[in-house]
Chains A and B, each alone.
Chain A
Amino acid sequence: MIIDLEQQALEHNALRADVCIAGAGPAGIVLALELARARPDWHIVLCEAGGTGNATEAERDIYRMALGEKSYSVADICRRRRLGGTTAHWGGWSKPLDATDYEDNPAWDVPAWPITQAEVQRYMDSALAWTEITSTEFDLSRVRDTIAQHLLPLRVDGPITEHAFRFSPPTRFGTRYYNDINQQDNLTCLLHANLTRLDRAGERITQAEVKPLDGAAALITAEHFVLAMGGLETTRHLLNLRGEAAADGEGIFSDHLGRYFADHYGPRAGNLLAPEGLKYHRFSNDGQPIMPVLTFSADHIRKERQHNTCMTLNASSGEGSVLHQYGSQSGLNFKPGNYWQYQVQMIVEPRPNPLSRIHLTNERCALGLRRLKLDWQPHRDDFDSAYTFYQTLGGELSRTGLGRFQITRQNTAEHQARASGACHHLGTTRMAARPEDGVVDTDLKVFGSQNLYVASSSVFPRYGYSNPTLTIAALSVRLAQHLAGQKEAQA
């Protein structure tokens, strides 16, 4: 059932639920429907701040945040306040994290995932179904033969390898799952239900206050509360919940809360001269979209403690270049064939950086919540590793007669400062095995709390280069199963 609080107030302005989820983006919708279907005996309440259409100016204003020194030019477009959340305009680029993304990088300050790749992988089929991804082969080596003419003949044991992205249609969760939500008897979805307050008694959250911008507040009491309001808003609410208390404890009192903010970004370092017809970009292979990308091999990442950066290529005319029409001469160590120039775009794996963080300011929004300040400080290692990757690939091409590489933009702090984000909000409520290392535990429960959970990419403790939504959906399915089972066990 869907109730719009702007149209209809709740009886007694109150609801009782087994689980109350705040935020109906992909994280919240997947969690709510999975949970409602797994536990027909439960009542789930899903509170969404927006309606079914675009947010009004006043609603958008709630997201307004201050910025630190580094610009974030996607600030105004990176979130959607409506049913379905930011999938109203996401691009659908999808890929599970790679094996190394789950592993600790000994050169970094904080541990990586406290759960294994296999553990997340168990929920990937469901995540693929939720995101309506029908071509599900992410292991490029299994489909390589069908597109080999568009890929580089790389050394098998070399430092460079390939992976594949796949694509959601892209699923607009708000419209695609509207009927499912509306028809699910044991699920109540409240629209224009902005979470404004969580009441705490000791280690338990007792109730949540939600309200439309102009309207009466309603109180939701529940056994469990899940924050699924996107990486930034979820962290903002936890910081508001901490209030003026010191950041010297666990969970909401952990100094990790709000730190390690990351987004995917990357340098456009230059051009490659390489065999014609390469397709390291999105294209349609027999009607199925695929995007091969170049990366370091897992061995190389582990051995050299590198970041997991990926690279796409787009052909350019090469007109005006000093190497225009160059290549293919065997005497200059080129393999036979025509050579094209390609513009390089990399997506770095951001190193979790404690200095990159979101804080609260003293200004309050219309809901009375303190606003955010985003002080995004990408780690200098990000670009260093990306350039190392580029040079390693370029060196491979040069040595093996597959091409040459050009650096048109140097690895400078200025270049790094200009790069903008991809609207992926990672790391600020990181998952960890121990309270000393993060904000939520392996069940996504906030350390020190008995019933407060987070469903968001903000729990990622290591980020890779893959777009996050597929993994967000997998974690929501996992959380649903956990909550469903946990309640049974308690009973």
Chain B
Amino acid sequence: MINRRQFVIGGAAAGGAAAITYTLVPGDSADTVPAPAPEATALRIDTGISPAMDEFLLSLEHTDTLGRAWLAGDGSGIGLAQLASTVAQRIDGSAADIAAATATRIQQDFAQGTLCDIEGWQLSLTECQLAALRVLAIEANPANRAVLAANEATPEAAANSPDGYTVGTIAPLQNWGPKKTAKGLAFNVQSDGHCGLWFQIAGAPAHAKIMIDGEIARTTIKGKVVTSGLFGKQKDHILSTPGTYEIALIDPIRKVKQPIGEFLVEESPAGQLPGGESIQLSDCTVGKWGPQKTQVGVALNEQPDGAMGVWVYISCLPHGARLRIGEDDLPITRTKFGFTTAIPKPLLEAPQNMPLHLVTPGDGQELAIGNLLIEEPE
């Protein structure tokens, strides 16, 4: 018997990602023949617990990473039927309001200490199991593969496919940067740790996005300035892998891609940095350095003792040089490209523009590096 109901759930992803429409096909019948989905983006979940539970699971967007993590750990080897039965014992699938029943169950989990630990997150066992159940149920239905593939064609996902876009013009680009860095060197580090990129683009539509190396990056558009950057795993990957990375502006609705240029990650400069007794500070030239900006009390690039790690490119480095910040001279560590140092957190407590100098205490020479801006957030 085919007993099919269809639920259409519109879910707006948190963080402003595009809305995806799901179609749910509940039922437990083995002879169910999947009907052609009315929409290409329809996912089907059939846990056998209840249609309401399946509908609820479909609504749990952004839980799949969690679900997979639980299945890789505590839930390893568990099958759909077994997990569904476990969940059914914890949540009454026939409850009039499954969401409310689940929320209550989760509260109980926290009260009773029935927890699961995923990468250090202290979560309720119920939410871990629900996330995992959703993953297993989606994977269990072969039709979902097509749906997942079709979902690739949603604006955001399609943009990830190089073929999904036609090259064209979206808005005139005036300038952008930074255009390169060296391997392992974070650039333009922002307070949340991402490496910021800026673009001057007049008239970019509000929904336009920056695509880096084929992946859509978080993008903010304010007037003529578009900001984006390298985040999370992509940041780690790109910074650690010398090469060129394509940057483009995309219009996910019109499916237009406007190439911007290539971001270059150079090999770290090889060889030994000139240094020693004979080098004078005045012979040396300071290159890039960072972080150049932070917020009061926040140590970016945090070191084990809580200090802020700072790196400076320089063409040579006299013996015994130290970094002067305000009135303090800090020891430095010589590297292939220049040096690094650690600014103790108490020195970052007041909003100010702190001059950084390289000094050689013996002869009193000073070389300006730049100012570290310590800002107070609004």
Encode contact with B along A66-91: 1 for CB under 8 Å, 0 otherwise. 00000101101110100000001111
Known A91-B349, A331-B98, A423-B346: A54·B302 in contact at CB below 8 Å: no
Q: Is the Cβ of B14 less than 8 Å from the Cβ of A338?
A: yes
Partner of A270, one of B111, B120, B306: B120
Stretch from A317-325, A370-378, A482-490 forming part of the interface with B: A317-325
Which residue of A88, A319, A399 contacts B233 across the interface (Cβ within 8 Å)? A319
Q: Which of A39-47, A217-225, A403-411, A451-459 contacts B (4 or more CB under 8 A)?
A: A403-411
A92 contact from B62, B98, B119, B350, Cβ within 8 A: B350
In the complex, whether B142 has a CB less than 8 A from a CB of chain A is no
A327 interface residue per 8 A CB criterion? yes
B107 within 8 A of A: yes
Whole-angstrom distance from the CB of B58 to the nearest CB of chain A? 11
Docked CA distance A170–B61 (Å): 47
Q: Are B297 and A282 in contact (CB under 8 A)?
A: yes
Q: Do B192 and A317 touch across chains, with their CB atoms under 8 A apart?
A: yes
A230 interface residue per 8 A CB criterion:
no
Q: Mark B296-312, 1 if CB is under 8 A from A, else 0.
A: 11100010111100000
**Cβ of B154 to closest chain A Cβ, rounded Å:** 16
Chain B residue nearest in CB terms to A71? B305
Asked if residues A418 and B305 are in contact (CB atoms below 8 Å), the reply is yes
Highest count of chain B CB atoms <10 Å: which of A279, A324, A329: A329
Closest to A395 in B: B110
Asked if B62 and A324 sit within 8 Å, CB to CB, the answer is yes
From residue B350, how far is it (CB to closest CB) to chain A in Å?
Answer: 5
Contact B120 A407 (CB under 8 A): yes
What chain A residues lie within 8 Å of B231 (beta carbons)? Answer: 317, 319-320
Near B by CB (< 8 A), chain A positions 307-340 give: 312, 314-317, 319-333, 338-339
Chain A residues with CB under 8 A of B330: 76-77
CA distance A312 to B323 in the complex (A): 29
How far, in whole Å, are A317 and B190 apart by their CA atoms in the complex? Answer: 10
Check A320/B103 contact, CB under 8 A, given A76-B328, A89-B327, A281-B377: no
Interface of A is mostly: loop
What total of A-B pairs shows CB separation below 8 Å? 173
Please tell me if B361 contacts chain A, counting CB pairs below 8 Å.
Answer: yes
- B56 touches A (CB below 8 Å): yes
Contacts of A71 in B (CB 8 A): 305
Q: Are B344 and A73 in contact (CB under 8 A)?
A: yes
Instruction: Bin the interface of chain B by size.
Output: 35 or more
Complex formed: what's the CA distance from A423 to B99 in Å? 50
Q: Which residues of B contact A91 (CB under 8 A)?
A: 296-297, 346, 348-350
CA of A100 to CA of B85 in the docked complex: distance in angstroms? 51
The smallest beta-carbon distance between A143 and chain B, in angstroms, is 17
A166-B45 Cα distance, complex, nearest whole Å: 54
B15 & A331 in contact (Cβ 8 Å cutoff): no
Q: Tell me, yes or no, whether B326 is within 8 Å of chain A by CB.
A: yes
B307 contacts across to A, CB distance below 8 A: 73, 420
Which of B63, B130, B348, B350 is within 8 Å of A326, CB to CB?
B63
Contacts of B347 in A (CB 8 A): 77, 89
Q: A319-B194, A320-B233, A401-B103 are in contact. Are A54 and B327 (CB under 8 A)?
A: yes
- Of B102, B103, B194, B377, the contact of A317 (CB 8 Å cutoff): B194
Q: In whole angstroms, what is the CA distance A323 to B302 when docked?
A: 22
> In the assembled complex, how far is the CB of residue A421 from the closest CB belonging to chain B, in whole angstroms?
8
- Minimal Cβ-Cβ distance residue in A for B70: A322
The CA of A319 and the CA of B107, in the complex, are separated in Å by 27
Q: Which of A334-367 contact B (CB under 8 A)?
A: 338-339, 345
The stretch of B121-129, B172-180, B220-228 in contact with A is B121-129
CB 8 Å contact bits of A283-294 with B (1 = contact, 0 = none): 110000100000
Query: For the complex, what is the distance from the CA of A323 to the CA of B192, rounded to whole Å?
Result: 16
Query: Digit string of B76-116 for contact with A (CB within 8 Å is 1, else 0)?
Result: 00000000000000000000001110111011001100000
In the bound assembly, the distance between CA atoms of A329 and B57 in angstroms comes to 11
Residues on A with beta carbons closer than 8 Å to the beta carbon of B344:
73-74, 77, 420
Q: For the complex, what is the distance from the CA of A270 to the CA of B118, rounded to whole Å? A: 13
* A15 proximal to B (CB < 8 A): no
Whether A304 is near chain B, meaning CB under 8 Å from some CB there, is no
Contact A331 B194, CB 8 Å, known A270-B120, A325-B13: no
Q: Within 8 Å of chain A (Cβ to Cβ): is B345?
A: yes
State whether B103 touches A404 (Cβ < 8 A).
Answer: no
B232 touches A319 (CB 8 A): yes
Q: How far is the CB of B188 from chain A (nearest CB, A)?
A: 14
Within B266-310, the residues touching A (CB, 8 Å) are: 295-298, 302, 304-307
Q: A317-B193, A329-B60 are in contact. Are A322 and B296 (CB under 8 A)?
A: no
Q: Is B376 engaged at the interface, CB distance under 8 Å to the other chain?
A: yes
- Cross-chain contact B122 with A406 (CB below 8 angstroms): yes
Using known A-B contacts A77-B328, A325-B15, determine if residue A281 contacts B297 with beta carbons closer than 8 Å: yes
Query: Would you give the 0/1 interface string for B9-21, flagging 1 where the beta carbon is closer than 8 Å to chain A?
Result: 0000111010000
Judge whether B297 and A322 touch: CB under 8 Å.
no
Name the A residues within 8 Å of B346 (CB-CB). 74, 77-78, 91, 422-423
Q: A77-B344, A330-B99 are in contact. Are A314 and B191 (CB under 8 A)?
A: yes
- A/B interface sample: 7 pairs, CB < 8 A: A73-B342, A76-B329, A282-B297, A330-B103, A338-B15, A395-B110, A407-B120
Q: Which chain B residues have a beta carbon within 8 Å of chain A's beta carbons?
A: 13-15, 17, 56, 59-63, 65-66, 69, 98-100, 102-104, 106-107, 110-111, 118-124, 127, 130, 191-194, 218, 231-233, 235, 295-298, 302, 304-307, 326-330, 342, 344-350, 361, 376-378
